[in-house]
Structure 1
Amino acid sequence: MALDFVYELGLASPLKFSIGYVDKRLKFVEYKYDSRAITGASVGVLALCVILALFGATISNFFVYFFFFAGVILSLTFYIYPVNIVYSQRLIEYTEEMLKAIMRIATFIQMNQSMEYAVLNTTKELRGTLKTQFQDITNQLRLRKKNTLGEVIEEYTPIWNAINPDFIKSFKLLETASLSTEEDKAKIIDEVLETLIISYHTAGKRFAEDLSNKAKTLIAVGVLFPIISLMLLPLVSVFLPTLIQGTLITFVYDVAFPTFILLMALDFSSRRIQVNTINLKESPFYKPLPKPLFIVAAGIVVIFAIPGILQLISIDPTNMKREYLFPSIFFVWLLGMGVATGILIITYNYVRKHASLWHEVDETERDLPHLLQTFSTYLTLNMSVESILPEVVDDYKTHGFGSHPIVKFFSMLVHKLKVSKMTVLELTHDLLPKICPSRKLTNILSNIISFTDISQESAAQATKMIRKQTISIYELDDYIKTLLAETVALINVTTAFLAPILSAAAVLMSLAIVKSLTFISSVLEGIQKSFGSSDSQITKLQLVNIEEIIAPTILTVVVSIYLLEMILVLSLFQSNVKVGNDSFQLAKTINASMLGWFIYSVILLGGHVIAIQYLFESVLST
């Protein structure tokens, strides 16, 4: 993880302390660090920045504000990331694993296996918190700490009820099914799975309806209100110059608002029903981005920031006209451009590096129903798995899908079967996890092949049941995505177009208001001169004193940082809502949403040249 070294330092910090609420959250989602590491890192970076701010005060007041706000933002980031972002994403994964667990248990029960055996084998296919809970259940049964499975799961019942009541209901019904006759067993299992899918359908529909209203609230509170208020700041500062200060608006718009919106977004998206999400980190071919790339991105941010920092340091209250010139606006714009470029470098390279892998996993898993249908057909014909594998490869090639990922690793399995003495079961345990891009397919094939030890008929029956479950999950996933399509489109339009346009308009409007008031003052003074008034007789109206108004360069920095924060927050919100916790789709969404930054830049810089310089300095001055 990118922040591991920060939390390692936090553990060594003397400023660390424990927070029970945070420890409970982090322990539940199995985060590797506790609250002491989080608070140590958060308080430590804040203390460091305060010390740097005190030293910076000897050079310029700019460094006082810079290090103070940097400290607040970094401190909040180091705290919010594990406590809110990681927690929300892993909670989404937890509910997805619950659906998988019930379907796998149902398959084993259908094959006349005991509930204990079903739970034991399902544990191998799970991940995260639910896997740990199932491991504890199987360990307690193995060590005979409690006599029955029902007694063991009693301690987990309140936890499961709080997060997904349908899971514990389905679990207990499957317990009943395992003790029933063949006829009743099949009926109970069908009813359990049907009820569970309907429950997820209903929950997905309610979530989509609720989220639609909440997304509008998020956009209104997080985008429209802050930006419209930014437009009015220069006008307000005319009447309240001592109140509207750069430090205040920086804290409000770059710290308070983004933090509040991030927490809202995470709270809303954590209720998303996730049932079919690709986790690239589970693939054997996944490789993280090289660390030098992050160093390059950070270096670009620093280089681009230098002109803007020098511009802000050299602000002269007695010569504020300089802050309204295009070069001044351009220099501070470079500060935001550096951050945007750094983000683009990381997200673009992540998407480029993992695009083919993600599509391979997606293509493989999307073809699961067809593959399972093929397997069940050949198993019904009493063919061995060793004979089925080459037949599957030939079927794909015959129908023009020779380049399909399934053909690639199935061909490797067939070749290994021919040149080695390993059985197909050994290959699925040892070789398949290394060559198959999808962990889901690896687990399914391992299950099917293990059922052939019982009988071909049992394996065929299990394959048909897994196929039915897979189709149900895909239909549910498509249904949820369809319901959320309108909300996703609204967030996308806001991120890429509405927020950038309004942000640029806020800066230009503030410039236009000041320029207009200054122009009106000069025109009225000119009218007095035209009536023969001498300089001593002219009434100095001074509708606006630009020395008392917040400098447009400062406003540009505030708006630029705010826009970048909104792009990141809304991209995270959009990705979580659209597909769930998928790191590739998140990077892709952020990369696409950065279009908003360039729209903002074109309007800001182009608008300054056309509207401010040309209109006020060329046309109106004549």
Structure 2
Amino acid sequence: MEDKKIDIHDIIEKHSQRLQRDLDYFNNIKKSSYSKSYESFKKEISPEPSNYEKWCISLGQIIKLKISKKEEEEIQKKLDIAHLDIEPWHTVTLAFISFLLIFFLGLIFCFAVSYLTNTSFPFGLFIMICIVGVFSYSFLKNYPDRIANKWRLKASSQMVPAILYVVIYMRHTSNLEKAISFASEHLEYPLNLDFKKIFYDVEIGKFSTIKESLDNYLSIWRDYSPQFIESFNLIESSLFEPNEEKRIDILEKSLQVVLDGTYDKMLKFTHEVRSPLTNVYMLGVILPTLAIALLPMANILLQNQLKTSHVFVLFNLIVPFLVFYLTDKILFLRPGGHGEISLLEKNPKYYLYKSRKPIVKAFLISFPFILLGLIPLIFQYTPLPLWFNLQRDYTFSQLGLPLFGEDTYFFGITEVDGIIKGPYGIGAMILSIFFIFGIALFFYISFKGKTSELKKEREKTKELEIEFNNSLFQLGNKLGNGTPLEIAFGKVAEDTKGLRTEDFFKKTNYNITQMGMSVEQALFDNKRGVLIYYPSSLVSTSMKILVESSKKGSTIAALSLVNLSQYVKNFYKITDRLKDLLSEIVSDMKSNMTFLAPILSGIIVGLSMMMSSILSYISTISNNFSDVSSSQFGNIGSILKMFEGTDTIAPYFLQIIVGIYLIEIVFILTKTLVVIDSGEDKLDQIYLTGMNLKKAIFFYSIIAIISSIALSFLSSFVLSGLIQ
């Protein structure tokens, strides 16, 4: 009898200790994760004010503009979503002051130009400055909307994982508060901060219950992602379902609702976005590129009024801005729910991204090419050639290349009335390609150096997660068959030989068997924990669920892992289907950007070089017959007089303008395609920009050189015969 009492006492003591550990764990979770003080929460949500916030607050102390109640509510809603700590009137004040500043500075500048050049007031320039001021007002006023949209894109890409974490937790513990807390711990920025703010609003007394705070938070997604709200409504309703089987069905339905809703919205988006993207490509890439070929002829018709500066402003400032504006409108159409969920700052190789070494390396490699492209200008405008007893220009016959014309100059530098003009020669034009090549090479090397290792690390993590999902199923089966958790890791390690996950289970088993650690310590210990070497949210979350559910028994732990494996499998299936939907659009635009557009631009540069050569020959003919009466030649004489003194835009500068324009287009369209495919993903954006620049500029340089040489040689051969 005494032995029996002792046994009962031991059992009570054992369970009391276990209960105390669980309570201690719960209290620690509550203290550390459920909420934050005001200062720490604000520091986490926004480490320091952005430049936009600083400008708004600074100018807001000087002047305060009144706005309507309706406009104030609309702006405040955007500020709340963007998590900007400013007042609605701050944004209007900054926008208005920026417009006034640009207007008056532009007015003073135009009067100064008129006074210094002794010409009339440049109304065209002033109107352009006013347009810039209007754009500045519109851009700064709507800037919170842009930030809010970026926040929504990044946060909405984590909606499916958010519902997944809540459902997984509530399968074994029907507690909404702890489920949201669990999700906030394992989600990435920024949705994790939104979930933490739900607790923060309760703590400061804004709402009395978690449900009220959650419902208030969900209201911001009402117009943007209704399936997210519907999923949480189902999760809330599961709390009041007494039947366990029906409760699980409701939770699974909530996950299916957000998956189906995301798929349907992305399917609709793929149909809507195709036409706008085609319009952007035609209006922003094809038509401007074709227009460049007509510039030499247009300059003749405009009596040499078209200057290089005009072409630069048009093709390197105005047209890229229009392309950016059109693509920005397209990005606002993108629904949430799908995208890259990993955070750049948590990548193990993040230090490479912050390093300046790739930039220095890129500069040292690309600078010689840029300098090579500037040689025509150095020979034309600096005394450097004279210091080395060199001519400012050489004929092709002097260089041993009479094939391009014995009297044709390599740089094509001319001097009219003491004014140096050009360079018009094909040699200068070819050298200018090295200038564009050097700029593209700089971005490619620096971007690749910053992101290539991070990209590889991300791909390794994704491969690990796919394999790990299958291993979870095996681990769940081992536990379901009665294998103790401490032994199951070793058995799964044997079953996963040759896979990436083998090392994970081996290390965990080593910590348990050789280091004498508990399962929780073997996984989460700050110094020896296996998860230190596997920075994956899926792996971390899975093991957290395993540790939590194992406290309720091996059967519950086995069910949790098997269900988690099935959920993740469905998630990947939907993700693959969404990628298939977007792949056609993305691949079409990518081929247009990196292959067709560079080839077309290269051919256009060659045509421009040929037209410049033709116009130069016609100008020579016109000057030869300038002393002859036009009546002797009829209409032909009148036509030839149009070409007298023709000052065409130098092909050297024209090629540089086209090359810079192509680089700008690659930057803009790459960002657009990344957002369409993956949402807000800085790593992919920088990495793919470098890769696309390499392909685009390589094709462009080769085609531009070949077409320029071939067409210039052809025009030189034909027209030289005509002149003779």
When normalised by structure 2's length, the TM-score is 0.71
**CA distances 1:247-301 after superposition (whole Å, capped 9, x unpaired):** 2322222122222322433443451552554445323454333213223434556
Counterpart in 2 of 1:490? 588
Establish whether residue 420 from structure 1 lines up as the match of residue 485 from structure 2. no
Q: After TM superposition, give the deviation of residue 194 of structure 1 in Å.
A: 2.1
Do the aligned partners of 1:311 and 1:331 also contact (CA within 8 Å) in 2? no
Letter in 1 for 2:504: F
Matching residue within 577, 580, 604 for 2:704: 604
**Residue correspondence of structure 1 range 327-338 to structure 2 within 5 A:** 327-338=427-438
Establish whether residue 479 from structure 1 lines up as the match of residue 603 from structure 2. no
Letter in 2 for 1:556: Q
Letter in 2 for 1:110: R
Establish whether residue 295 from structure 1 lines up as the match of residue 352 from structure 2. no
Matching residue within 657, 665, 682 for 1:566: 665
CA shift in 2, pair 1:305/1:524, >3 Å: closer
Quick one: distance in 2 between partners of 1:385 and 1:12? Answer: 57
Letter in 2 for 1:440: L
Matching residue within 318, 321, 339 for 1:259: 321
Matching residue within 146, 158, 166 for 1:97: 158
Quick one: distance in 1 between partners of 2:598 and 2:49? Answer: 32
Q: 161-170 or 306-315, which moves further after superposition?
A: 306-315
Quick one: distance in 2 between partners of 1:326 and 1:13? Answer: 52
Quick one: distance in 2 between partners of 1:479 and 1:254? Answer: 38
Segments of structure 2 that go 5 or more residues without pairing to the other structure are 1-46, 66-71, 117-124, 382-412
Counterpart in 1 of 2:472? 372
Q: Secondary structure at the match of 1:382?
A: coil
**Residue correspondence of structure 1 range 175-194 to structure 2 within 5 A:** 175-181=236-242, 182-194=244-256
Letter in 1 for 2:704: L
Do the aligned partners of 2:607 and 2:711 also contact (CA within 8 Å) in 1? no
Q: After TM superposition, give the deviation of residue 115 of structure 1 in Å.
A: 1.3
**Residue correspondence of structure 1 range 469-618 to structure 2 within 5 A:** 469-520=567-618, 539=637, 541-545=640-644, 547-594=646-693, 595-612=695-712, 614-618=713-717
Establish whether residue 167 from structure 1 lines up as the match of residue 265 from structure 2. no
Q: After TM superposition, give the deviation of residue 470 of structure 1 in Å.
A: 0.9
Establish whether residue 281 from structure 1 lines up as the match of residue 345 from structure 2. yes
Counterpart in 2 of 1:155? 216
Do the aligned partners of 1:304 and 1:334 also contact (CA within 8 Å) in 2? yes
CA shift in 2, pair 1:144/1:505, >3 Å: same
Q: After TM superposition, give the deviation of residue 30 of structure 1 in Å.
A: 5.3
Counterpart in 1 of 2:42? none
Letter in 2 for 1:558: I
- Greater C-alpha radius of gyration: 2
Do the aligned partners of 1:285 and 1:437 also contact (CA within 8 Å) in 2? no
Do the aligned partners of 1:110 and 1:186 also contact (CA within 8 Å) in 2? yes
Q: Secondary structure at the match of 2:187?
A: coil
Matching residue within 477, 494, 506 for 1:394: 494
CA shift in 2, pair 1:154/1:353, >3 Å: closer
Letter in 2 for 1:563: L
Q: Secondary structure at the match of 2:482?
A: coil
Q: Secondary structure at the match of 2:186?
A: coil
Name the structure, 1 or 2, with higher relative contact order (CA <8 Å, separation 6+). Answer: 1
**CA distances 1:317-366 after superposition (whole Å, capped 9, x unpaired):** 73787422123213433332221011111122235423431231121122
Quick one: distance in 1 between partners of 2:559 and 2:452? Answer: 41
Q: 340-349 or 275-284, which moves further after superposition?
A: 275-284
Quick one: distance in 1 between partners of 2:557 and 2:536? Answer: 21
Quick one: distance in 1 between partners of 2:149 and 2:207? Answer: 33
Counterpart in 2 of 1:232? 294
Q: After TM superposition, give the deviation of residue 498 of structure 1 in Å.
A: 1.5
Matching residue within 460, 465, 483 for 1:360: 460
Do the aligned partners of 2:607 and 2:707 also contact (CA within 8 Å) in 1? no
Letter in 2 for 1:382: G
**CA distances 1:145-192 after superposition (whole Å, capped 9, x unpaired):** 533333222432331213211111211221011111213212222322
CA shift in 2, pair 1:616/1:284, >3 Å: closer
Letter in 1 for 2:518: T
Considering only aligned residues, what root-mean-square deviation do their CA atoms show, in Å?
4.3
Matching residue within 271, 289, 297 for 1:209: 271
CA shift in 2, pair 1:376/1:266, >3 Å: farther
CA shift in 2, pair 1:144/1:584, >3 Å: closer
Do the aligned partners of 2:606 and 2:705 also contact (CA within 8 Å) in 1? no
Segments of structure 1 that go 5 or more residues without pairing to the other structure are 59-64
CA shift in 2, pair 1:261/1:437, >3 Å: same
Matching residue within 245, 254, 257 for 1:195: 257
**CA distances 1:80-100 after superposition (whole Å, capped 9, x unpaired):** 9x9798765543221122221
Do the aligned partners of 2:435 and 2:656 also contact (CA within 8 Å) in 1? yes
* % identity of equivalent residues: 20
Q: After TM superposition, give the deviation of residue 607 of structure 1 in Å.
A: 1.9
Letter in 2 for 1:469: Y
Q: Secondary structure at the match of 2:190?
A: helix
Do the aligned partners of 1:283 and 1:438 also contact (CA within 8 Å) in 2? no
Do the aligned partners of 1:238 and 1:544 also contact (CA within 8 Å) in 2? yes
Q: 471-480 or 284-293, which moves further after superposition?
A: 284-293
Quick one: distance in 1 between partners of 2:53 and 2:646? Answer: 44
Quick one: distance in 2 between partners of 1:83 and 1:333? Answer: 40
Quick one: distance in 2 between partners of 1:243 and 1:536? Answer: 28
Quick one: distance in 2 between partners of 1:451 and 1:200? Answer: 30
Letter in 1 for 2:602: A
Establish whether residue 323 from structure 1 lines up as the match of residue 423 from structure 2. yes
Quick one: distance in 2 between partners of 1:142 and 1:311? Answer: 67
CA shift in 2, pair 1:501/1:25, >3 Å: farther
**Residue correspondence of structure 1 range 336-347 to structure 2 within 5 A:** 336-347=436-447
Do the aligned partners of 1:222 and 1:257 also contact (CA within 8 Å) in 2? yes
CA shift in 2, pair 1:166/1:259, >3 Å: same
Establish whether residue 455 from structure 1 lines up as the match of residue 563 from structure 2. no
Q: Secondary structure at the match of 1:544?
A: coil
Quick one: distance in 2 between partners of 1:85 and 1:336? Answer: 32
